[in-house]
Structure 1
């Protein structure tokens, strides 16, 4: 078998040809991230894979032929171990497939000390196996607990080793500053990179130092280490992780007696291991295969932990490569102010430079595509010097960025020799700019948002990218930020935010990320691209609405990726649990007809296990650029409810203009939070007015029953609240609604009742004339409509927390309760009485709420389906990812047929369930079901499924014949609800109508 045969086998199994990257060919722009694996690469020191299969543009599976691993079993196993080790250093694809005649063996890629057991051996169903691998499910399904426990990533190992080395050096010599330790470790790491990449060879040793016998010993003595540091300064330049004092002899003499321990720690970094079983130390790592952006990411994380001041002064969170790649791709796809290879790129909050490194790589690829010739060192250095800029307020961060860019330029260099030709121009002060107060001559602590920067580089760049700080500034910096953001808002001649309101808009938001977004408009040329990672609160906070309106009125947003559902996926972004978004925009005024795409990746455990997420093109919602300017809750409704949910919420808000709070205020009724117990030493206020009262408990259902409730007996509290809020009749609403209806709604109490801050109460004492309002609110609290509305409009519920806020209930659009007729009031009283008596009459609750709010059957089904898969509770998350049953498929086709059936000329059902296969479920639309045809069709369906997984699709349509097609969707309940069936049926009818029009 040769590589052509292998590629043919993959294609016949259903792998899309466009997803296959051959590694036996001459380098092309597509090979840029795989240069270290190409067989033509002189740096390749071990046998590499034959091909890599990408999914969604990301490397997913490496493939090698068994015969290339060697003939004998021992030799083959050693070659396999070395290959897994090489690929483990790359930190991208998680699987290696060994192809042999008659089957496939799948191995995990990671950090191992010996050859791991194969995850799976497949001899019969290669297409199904490829589907599982490309869909990201094989790791979670096949990996044993023991293997998972020993499964490491190169990032984890590198971070652990860096911290250990720095800690040992600092312990040995406390007089060294943290920054000096950081620089020593960084220099040793950089030198190891040069050696492993064969940029520095043993023949270069005499020109570096006469005090060492090999390259690995250059950090083993003070004299050799001093020579090496001086050589690095001379060969490259002085801003390579400066030691703050280039008098190396003086520094090392100051270390004195502990210099041997320092040298020992730094020499370990240079250690290369022999073949065979390895320990997980520096010797395991092959730096010629560690991508520079991975090294940069780990080093920044290490620097933040080891130099706390760095973390305080800069953004605490480094940006993972996977996220940064999405930002860079979005920016280069959107830019129109220049050809991609000519674009000038700015990162105004550069940090360790991960965005700049990826931008450099992309620019080199674009040059290659444009000219058809691989860029030379001269071209790469020109791109680095003239097309990239990075600003930061911290010199340590810029030093790391400089190191990262040096490494990236060397990595991309087709011929990184001779050493005498490799010296870089200084980056700090040119490409990388320090923007602290001292450098700028300011006192605002605003860095890139300082006036000299904002005004000094207008219309200078084609692309602005990055991850600006999310946390709010404090003290004087906060005041300066507010003034700057107000100026940026007022800068626009035509804005939906009145200039007089600008200061108030700013104060309510407070975070600098949107100031960076608006400043980017000034820095970017017309029709340039802006792509930033921002805090998700910008989309969801009601206080940010005026700011959103302004942004969407002056900036042509083209795409938003919302990661709220993945904020706690530690494999995706280990150091961050805040909601975040990626926003891409063209720097131009939006037109009335302009739209952007809004997509929210969902949490899928099998993908989360390997740090991946599904970007499903069919899940991207086209949204008019006018919508965020007109609808307060647009993004939350679209995120949790999709277009149908947004339409329903908009309709309810339009038809019921007065909120719960508005109507209660008119009646002088207010929600009040209950008592706060507080710490023992703070319980100094009398609570005698509560002693002897029944106490409400969160586990109670429907009402506070005095017969079973505990009697309140605490005499003092920190905050007992005023006595009148506890008087009955009472409605007690829970702060944290539950999935179970019985403990979701309010508790009713006819008498005085003690309740804690876990409730907010509404007392109707002395207001018996409002009993019908009390009953209506009581019923609503148990209805699906209320929690659905909160889910689709709350800034917190379902985004940052599992509990709702008092304001979420207050904002609910309440019908004019006084306009309800006598019959409806009678029904309300009857249902409320049943509930308070302990009767879970959910059908009656839903029916009466549907009648009051004029909800159709489709509306009610939409509410039910949305709650089943989108509520922020474990049960709902589990159900959303649950496999579809035969009953579910039948229910789906029944719902489809109820809509499409009346328009069909056939006597047969329009849609029929076909069954499930390896992660997909299928139905047939049109025609008669033929079991024999079905079985012959499954092989073709498998191939299609593999193709679909290559693009992370959730849905496939297979045209069988005129009027007959197969619909396949991912085997997860979120894709097979009755509401989804309704959407599919309406789409099918639309297509049928289009065909009919064409035939006329």
Structure 2
């Protein structure tokens, strides 16, 4: 173990035999250490990730058994087997492998074999590479998510459901599959044994699999009679039904048992028919994984899923929510509190809460297992409801399995013999078809938790809207989520807490939510906001909109300002490949409620901005904005519009849908002008200067909306709303030609005499500076859909040269810009136009026009070149440049910018050099020069990381944290030198990162200058 440099690791990162284990995965970690005999379990951000089997004599069979069990557990991703002279790394995502007797086939699970003697450096860096995500990316073929146990199980569930629902119907097929999983669980966990199956079949079948292969359903139905008597609950009322009050369930046929038999053994990929030697095993499978059937079943009902706005909550995200709530609960709430999920779905939040409550109860009582009555009491403290009864069935099913999972196995036989083992949940504490907004508002709950629906059902008035209206509370865009925000406060006990996943745009960012947002800050005390916008497409399969987590409670003193935490995690390799969220300390911010109230855009802006960005924004805001002289046509249309005097912006026309013409309620209008000029499609648009458009006009004057008629006449500036990911800048094009276009394009119409100003504005709109500004200071771009709305577009600072910060510099730049645009107009019809070179020219001239210095330019260029291309990456996206390891030129630029930024603070220059480096972490040394000449940045004398840390460990004031990836601003001082320990990823070595780091370093480093001759050690890490 020492070979892997784990000496600086400790709980909650590294658990070894005998280490007390706490947290959401305590049970799984303890099982791996005690029952499987692993030497250690390594966690990343609380998620068990690497298992260590340290056994010099480990046989192939032992490795296979451990691998198969951990694959079924579905938590860890890597098994390291340490033998006498080597280490073998196995993927725990790959399916279990059967070694044929005498066969020499390569083991598909084996990633690499390392020598404990010859591969010392690679071994020392292995754990760091897992934390950075580099290991997973470099070995991507070994971590195909389709081979994970949850993917295999869910794929077979879906296929079984499709084959069963044709004759049984959706509800009956869902119920039957859950009942089958429950019986499989009971059998695999040895809660029921072969005698039960023999008795139900008059000795014909000794296992559930045998029973499912029978030619009739008689034994299966008899088994249900026994199960109902033994377990009670709601699961085994009848095959295909949890609830028989609504009528008799459909009659089961033998051919449907065959489908269940294939699903039960799990050795077949049911979609393809491919067979495997090993299937899944419910004995070791996570209940959170099993709860995920809710999402898959609902996705079979696409229309309902779309209308309700419901999405599956991944287990790791549910753990984030539960952990955040759990850490803020007091002892009384943990011991006896009542918890509610008002839109419980599969019950994943209730399941994870139940597990935490049981663990806490056992810890307080100092015993390993709770009694069965204690477990039932804890289960009754959990309340759930959902308008979808099928979802509540899954929640009941999940909680029943969790109850059994948490029980003391020796207690169960006597309880089963006594009969009616399971408590009634479905229809009791878990309410099907119950609407949160028709229940009373009394203070019943210590906490409300969940991921409620976000939007209104198409065209209908929801009970959420009715309730908010009756309470005189705002619900912007008629979003159901706001109803849950307000109603959750009403049902809390005096010290209760709300923990909800909510739409980031509707709650945090949208301009039309500003009033509701201010009221929430006034009526509630927010404890923490985690803005998950950048993670949107990696969190949810099929998600279209970003989410945010908000933890809040009822305000105690209305109007009194308070502080709260604002966390802004970023997408990274670990999330893309490992389904775990890494939160860097640099992404944790503190905000004040009164500051947020006065500055409604702060949630969006601080998603990426840091203090140097905020300073540049403040500088730009000293310049008048476009909305000072450009009006929106929709507000100007009632007044007389004078094209010779007025600047205005408006959208193109919206075409009428031919199949809806004549339909009652479908309104149209006429627009003669759209049939007069050539039609410009969005695909034909190109930036800067538009070539001659030779298409025909629009085919009909009947349109849905007429748009901005004055904007169709040239000269004008045309601007698409959308921002392309490949070129993440706003695009604008100047043209004198009159054109008609649809509403995805917008036009700025200007007085013809102001054509020079319009050309100047066209260049500015195309610049990386405007992209940087819109990214930080508008609601959508970078948080939701990549577009800039009309009112946001007009926020851009822009004025004539005489009103700019440096008028002479601006005037010279403006003249060059106008000449450049004239040149592009002249060559706009050339076949081979290179827009990239032109845009680079524009960028540098616009920097000159606005009077930016090198620090400002670094902020803009880093955002444009690295951050914007990586924003909100899809799961299918490859390696983003910002995730790559920095190269020497990046570190040189960082060090140069850092030292230059520190100059005003010190009389002598600061010298930067690389002290040590591994493949994932680097240590930068800052020294005060003995003379007034600073030497260049150097990496020539850098050491290997681990030996360097061991060498200086005695001089450190405290133990270094294990995971440097989440503490990228770690600093310490030895004598008169400061050391910065930083992940090697490029994000931490951008010039803009140097500017942000400099502000913190300057104050800390200057404090030790006076002690230069004192060899004391100072810890300056935040």
Matched residue, 1:498:
none
In the alignment, structure 1 residue 49 sits paired with structure 2 residue 51? no
- 1:566 Cα deviation (Å)? 1.9
Could you say what secondary structure the match of 2:80 adopts? strand
For residue 843 of structure 1, report the CA deviation from its aligned partner.
Answer: 8.4
Aligned runs of 1:552-701 on 2, under 5 Å? 552-569=521-538, 572-589=539-556, 594-605=562-573, 607-649=575-617, 652-653=620-621, 656=624, 659=627, 668-674=646-652, 690=676, 700-701=686-687
Q: Which residue of 1 aligns with 2:862?
A: 865
Residue 893 (1) aligns with residue 906 (2)? no
Cα distance change of structure 1 residues 964 and 371 upon mapping to structure 2, 3 Å threshold: farther
Greater Cα offset, 100-109 or 27-36:
27-36
C-alpha contact (below 8 Å) 2:357/2:378 kept by paired residues: no
Matches within 5 A, 1:321-340: 321-336=315-330, 338-340=332-334
- 2: distance between equivalents of 1:191 and 1:932? 65
Alpha carbon RMSD of aligned pairs, Å?
Answer: 4.1
Of 136, 139, 144 in structure 2, the residue corresponding to residue 139 of structure 1 is 136
Match of 2:153 in 1: 158
- Deviations along 1:758-802, one digit per CA (max 9) or x if unpaired, are 53222335x52x445424422421333322221113322223323
Partners of 1:694 and 1:394 lie apart in 2 by 47
The verdict on how the C-alpha distance between 1:347 and 1:942 changes in structure 2, with shifts beyond 3 A counting, is farther
Shift of 1:916: 4.6
Q: In structure 2, do the counterparts of structure 1 residues 803 and 272 end up closer, same or farther at CA, with 3 Å as the change threshold? A: closer
Alignment of 1:180-259 (within 5 A): 180-205=172-197, 210=202, 212-216=204-208, 217-219=210-212, 220=214, 221-240=216-235, 242=237, 243-244=240-241, 254-255=251-252, 259=253
- CA apart distance, 1:98: 0.7
CA contact (8 A) 1:211 1:224 kept: no
* Correspondent of 1:81 among 56, 61, 64: 64
2:484 matched residue in structure 1: 516
Cα shift at 1:266: 2.7
2:767 to 773, 779, 783: 783
Does the alignment pair 1:922 with 2:919? no
Contact 1:105–1:121, Cα closer than 8 Å, also in 2: yes
**Partner residue, 1:100:** 83
- Structure 2 stretches lacking a partner, 5+ long: 98-106, 662-667, 826-836, 874-878, 930-936, 1015-1022
CA distance change for structure 1 residues 758 and 383 in 2, over 3 Å: closer, same or farther? same
Say if 2:313 and 2:451, in contact at 8 Å, map to a contact too: yes
Is this contact kept in 1: 2:197–2:223, CA < 8 A?
A: no
Q: Is 1:698–1:734's contact at 8 Å kept on the other side of the alignment?
A: no
Q: Please, which of 246, 259, 262 is the counterpart of residue 265 of structure 1?
A: 259
Partner of 1:3: none
Task: String of CA shifts for 1:103-153, please: whole Å, max 9, x gaps.
Answer: 322111124252424222222222201111233321220244xx5669511
Q: Summarize the Cα distance change of 1:614–1:366 in structure 2 as closer, same or farther, 3 Å threshold.
A: same
Q: Indicate how the Cα distance of structure 1 residues 160 and 926 shifts in structure 2: closer, same or farther if over 3 A, else same.
A: same
Aligned equivalent of 2:665: none
Contact 1:296 1:354 in 2 (8 A): yes
CA distance in 2, matches of 1:851, 1:933: 39
Would you say how many aligned residue pairs link Structure 1 and Structure 2? 932
- Superposition pairs of residues 359-374 of structure 1, within 5 angstroms: 359-374=353-368
Cα distance in 2 between the residues matched to 1:206 and 1:636: 63
Partners of 2:248 and 2:147 lie apart in 1 by 37
Local SS of the residue matching 2:966: coil
In the alignment, which residue of structure 2 is the partner of 1:351?
A: 345
1:680–1:487 distance in 2 versus 1, CA, 3 Å: closer
Q: Is the 8 A contact 1:548 1:628 kept in 2?
A: no
Normalised by the size of structure 1, how large is the TM-score?
Answer: 0.83
In structure 1, what is the equivalent of residue 933 of structure 2?
Answer: none
| Offset at residue 194 of structure 1 (A) | 0.7
Residue 434 (structure 1) aligns with:
432
Distance 1:561 1:344 in 2: 24
**Greater mean deviation of Cα atoms: 415-424 or 130-139:** 415-424
Distance 2:40 2:501 in 1: 33
Alignment of 1:335-484 (within 5 A): 335-336=329-330, 338-378=332-372, 380-415=374-409, 417-422=411-416, 423-436=421-434, 447-450=435-438, 452-453=439-440, 455=441, 457-458=442-443, 460-478=444-462, 480-484=463-467
TM-score by length of 2: 0.82
Of 695, 713, 727, the match for 1:712: 695
1:128 aligns with 2:128: no
Structure 1 contact 884–921 (Cα < 8 Å) conserved? no
Q: Does 1:973 align with 2:973?
A: no
Alpha-carbon separation, structure 2, partners of 1:782 and 1:936: 45
Distance 1:24 1:692 in 2: 78
Match of 1:549 among 498, 514, 518: 518
Contact 1:390 1:433 in 2 (8 A): yes
Q: Deviations over 1:230-281 (max 9, x none)?
A: 2222122241165448889x979945xxx2212222334444889xxx9757
* Contact 1:925 1:965 (C-alpha < 8 Å) held by counterparts: yes
